[in-house]
Amino acid sequence: MRKEDQNTDNIIEMRVGTVEQLFHTLDPYPIRDKDLDREVEDYIVGWARELPRNRPFRIIVHFPGDQGQTRLAQELPEAFSRYFAGRAGAIQGDLNELFRVGRRSLAIGVTILIA
């Protein structure tokens, strides 16, 4: 079995009319720095959770032929990478804060229990 054959099940596919549909409409930044639309993010994350965790996956976006050659379409891989890297960092920060508060609460609780 070739390597390409092994990843055929690890694909998330989307079909949109324009590249701009993937991103939040009120975000003023260029495409590579924009936030993804909430529904697009939920779709990608939802499907990614159903795929095997220890294997990479690909996101394939289908749009009309004239949209495929635009500069915006070519910036999609970088835009997706930046967005999800930023989200991962934010979630990691939230998790670190939660553990910090949990450790403090545990210390206070143990102290009161001992007293």
What's the CA gap between 24 and 31, in Å, rounded? Answer: 10
pLDDT given for residue 112 in this prediction: 94
Domain range summary for the chain, segments of one domain joined by +: 3-114
pLDDT given for residue 69 in this prediction: 65
Instruction: Tell me what the mean pLDDT of segment 73-93 comes to.
Output: 90
What's the CA gap between 42 and 75, in Å, rounded? Answer: 21
Say if CB 42 and CB 99 are below 8 A apart.
Answer: no
* pTM of this structure: 0.72
What's the CA gap between 66 and 79, in Å, rounded? Answer: 20
